[in-house]
Amino acid sequence: MGSTTKKFFFLVNFLLLWGFINFKCLADTKKNLIINLFCIENFKDEMLKANINYEEEIAKETCDCYLKEFINTNSHQKAINKCKLETKKKFNL
């Protein structure tokens, strides 16, 4: 009976740990999705203000760049500056 209790205890701990890790990954994904949505909307607004045709491909690539840079540098402004330059060069804007 002691062996069964140990197995049950191990299984419960494993499931709790797995659930916590899964929840953390899900929360990070949700946070990144929200940041990406705000980025795309902001990108769309800036393109319209500059009288440039909005293209979803350019917006997606720029916002992917922003998210990656923001995570790496932890700086909103550095990420914006770097990705704006990269987008301008790549898409001749």
**Residue 87's CB: how many other CB atoms inside 10 A?**
19
HSE (side-chain half, CA atoms, 13 Å) at 15: 6
User: What pLDDT was estimated at residue 26?
Assistant: 47
- Identify the pLDDT of residue 65: 93
> One digit per residue, pLDDT tens: the chain, 93 residues?
567 776 666 655 555 555 555 555 544 565 678 888 888 998 898 888 989 888 999 999 999 999 899 889 888 899 999 998 999 899 887
CB 79 within 8 A of CB 62: no
Residue type, 4: T
Residue with tokens 């740990």: 17
Picking from 91, 90, 43, the residue whose alpha carbon sits closest to that of residue 66 is 43
